[in-house]
Copies of this chain bind each other. A is one copy, B any other.
Amino acid sequence: MTIIDQLIHGFSRLPGVGKKSAGRIVYFLLKADTDYLNTLADLIKRLKPSIRTCGVCGTYTESELCNICSDSGRDSEHICVVEESKDVQTIESTGVFNGTYHVLGGVISPIDGVGPEDLFIRKLLARLTPNFSEVEVKEVIIATNPTIEGDTTALYLVNLLKNTDITISRLALGLPVGGDLEYADKLTLSRSLNGRTKLS
């Protein structure tokens, strides 16, 4: 196998990159700056050794605490529980949440052999005990994906926390903004009906 074929094979393992786009990428690299190639290669090599998970919330970070947990301006009374570190970035990009996060590191999925004990739930419970820090957590917002696994995980957390004073909420399900009733699937539409908001 030539180095071109090897690299096409390597790139085609990336998510969203098929064999054809991998080819396009490799031929692009052949014409690109050598500096860019070397920087890209170095970053890929350095990525895993440089990254660890935040000691408090479990998100990917280069320091002991992530930017959000170490930011005193963030409201630590609200914890948004997400499946993966990338979900933190997604929610951050909306700019509407000023609380903190907790990354579970996955979802309960019996089919994949993932149980609650495989997730960072113990760490979440520790954060919720009043003596963990000077701030008392008032609300846990469950932001797992609206899938069977995400729903199961949300239910598990609700059961775990229901005897506490902490408010537990979940992201609203409904029509996407700019969407069309006609193209909404039945399940989304029925969830949207059940979760309708009162206007007056």
A30 to B62, CA, bound (A): 13
Distance between Cα atoms of A4 and B46 in the complex (Å): 10
Which A residues from 17 to 47 make CB contacts under 8 A with B?
Answer: 17, 21, 23-30, 34, 36-47
Query: Which residue of the partner chain B has the closest CB to A18?
Result: B16
Which single member of B15, B30, B45 contacts A37 (CB below 8 Å)? Answer: B45
A38–B47 alpha-carbon span in the complex (Å): 10
Is A101 located at the chain interface by the 8 A CB criterion?
A: no
Whether A7 lies near B44 (C-beta < 8 A) is yes
B25 engages A17 (CB within 8 Å): yes
Residue in B24, B30, B42 whose beta carbon sits within 8 Å of that of A60 in the complex: B30
Total identical chains: 2
Whether A164 sits at the interface, judged by CB under 8 Å, is: no
Smallest beta-carbon distance A92→chain B, Å: 12
Of B13, B41, B46, B48, the residue contacting A45 (CB under 8 A) is B41
Chain B residues, Cβ within 8 Å of A26: 47
The answer to whether the Cβ of A191 comes within 8 Å of any Cβ in the partner chain is no
Given A14-B25, A39-B10, A43-B10, A48-B30 contact (CB < 8 Å) = yes
The answer to whether the Cβ of A151 comes within 8 Å of any Cβ in the partner chain is no
In the complex, the 7 A-B pairs of residues with the closest C-beta atoms, listed nearest first: A41-B41, A41-B44, A41-B45, A27-B86, A7-B43, A10-B40, A16-B21
